[in-house]
Structure formats: structure tokens, C-alpha cells
Chain A
Amino acid sequence: QKEVEQDPGPLSVPEGAIVSLNCTYSNSAFQYFMWYRQYSRKGPELLMYTYSSGNKEDGRFTAQVDKSSKYISLFIRDSQPSDSATYLCAIEDSSASKIIFGSGTRLSIRP
């Protein structure tokens, strides 16, 4: 079993739709959860960062962590064509001092 599992998509939705991106993880000891956005041929940029369980909101983006089910989500409201990118979930493995990335979900927002 992979440490972080993410549906690769691709996911295509019309502009203005609500987007839900999800990942599952295997190690219940993980505490820090992140979402990165990566545009084509660019490095990833940190979008959201959550510690432990709960929700975190930043503008149109909401990150959610459910530690009981080892499930993390990113919601995008009022999606825009500029949101079209690959979204990677990531988890910090503090014991190994490294970040483990999901495989990424390719998202396309249709105008």
C-alpha cells in the first residue's frame, strides 16, 4: 500500500463549479498535511497547509483533514480557468524529515 494515494484524474469541470480533490494516507502518525498546485512545466507551489484534523479556509480554497478515516480533501469554490493545474496532496513524514507526495490530480476548468 502506498503511503499517500491520490486519484490522478483527469478531472474536467465547467467554470464556476465546486471542485473536490481527495487523498488517503496510511500512517496515522502523520500530522502535517499540504496541498500543492503545479502548473505545466513548473515547480509546485504551496497552496494550503493544515496541522492535524479540521478545516482551513483561504479564499475560494478549503482544506479538510479527517484523521479518523485518514482522508484529506481540497475544495475549490467558484472554480476559474486559471485554477487548471495539477494538484498534489502531500504529507510530512516528520520521523524521516521529508515530504511524501500523492501522484497528483490533473484539473481542467472549462470556460
Chain B
Amino acid sequence: GAVVSQHPSRVICKSGTSVKIECRSLDFQATTMFWYRQFPKQSLMLMATSNEGSKATYEQGVEKDKFLINHASLTLSTLTVTSAHPEDSSFYICSARGSGDRGLYGSSYEQYFGPGTRLTVT
């Protein structure tokens, strides 16, 4: 259980275009989804937190108009990188947290990660 998928797994786009990445929870309802960015040999940096039906909360330094996040249902969140530039090239990973009080390990903040999407902007 607790499977999260991402689509596409890899995308190459031209500078100035927009790219949409989907994150789906396959076997549970995700009340909260998180979007991370990971540069080569670096850690995961949280970009934003989205709750189903609400506006996303962005971390400091993340442009909300550039990284549009939609969490319209309990199983799907999307990240759209608008007017992408080469510096946006990165590995984007989503995670999802289920509803209910506690996860498997007793924390209400337990997250399940997707396999990631590698974005290359040329």
C-alpha cells in the first residue's frame, strides 16, 4: 500500500515553454501533497505544500507564479513549471500524506514519495 506515482518520469522541453507534472496517490487518499526539488548531489528542498481544495503554501524563495500547484482531488496534484528556463532543470519529487490521525510509524506527518520527474530545459 501507499504507492505514489508521477508522470512523466522524464521530460525535455524548450526554454519558455510550460511543463506539467502529475502526482497521484494510487491506493490511498492524500489530503496533503508536497513538492520537492533536488539538484544533482544535493538534498531534497521543499518547494510547497498543498492541501486538497486549498491554495498551496510555498516555501520562502519559491516563486508561486512560476511553479503553479493544483490539488483538485484527494488523489491528484499537479505542478506546472511556467516559462521554464535552463536553471529550472532539476529532479522534481512529490510526496503524499494520507488522511487519518497516524501513519504506520505513529507520526501524523508520514509521507510517501513518488519516483520523481527529471526535467531538462534546453
A-side interface residues toward B, CB under 8 Å?
6, 8, 32, 36, 41-46, 49, 51, 88, 92, 94, 97-99, 101-104, 106
Contact = CB atoms under 8 A, between A and B. Distances in A.
14 contacts: A32-B105, A32-B109, A41-B91, A43-B93, A43-B113, A46-B105, A46-B110, A49-B107, A88-B43, A92-B107, A94-B109, A98-B34, A98-B109, A104-B41
A44 B42 CA distance: 13
B106 interface: yes
A49 B105 contact: yes
A32 B41 CA distance: 25
Given A41-B91, A41-B116, A43-B93, A102 B43 contact: yes
Interface string B5-36: 01000000000000000000000000000100
Interface residues of B, number: 24
Given A51-B106, A98-B34, A98-B49, A8 B41 contact: yes
Given A88-B43, A88-B44, A103-B43, A45 B113 contact: yes
B107 A44 contact: no
B1 to A, nearest CB: 13
Interface in B66-122: 91, 93, 95, 105-107, 109-116, 118
B33 to A, nearest CB: 12
Given A32-B107, A43-B115, A101 B91 contact: no
A62 to B, nearest CB: 16
A4 to B, nearest CB: 8
A104 B43 contact: yes
Contact of A44 (B46, B113, B118): B113
Contacts of A43: 4, 6, 93, 95, 113-116
Given A43-B115, A45-B113, A97-B109, A106 B41 contact: yes
A94 B116 CA distance: 25
A36 B38 CA distance: 14
Given A98-B34, A99-B111, 5 more contacts: A32-B105, A42-B116, A44-B113, A46-B112, A88-B43
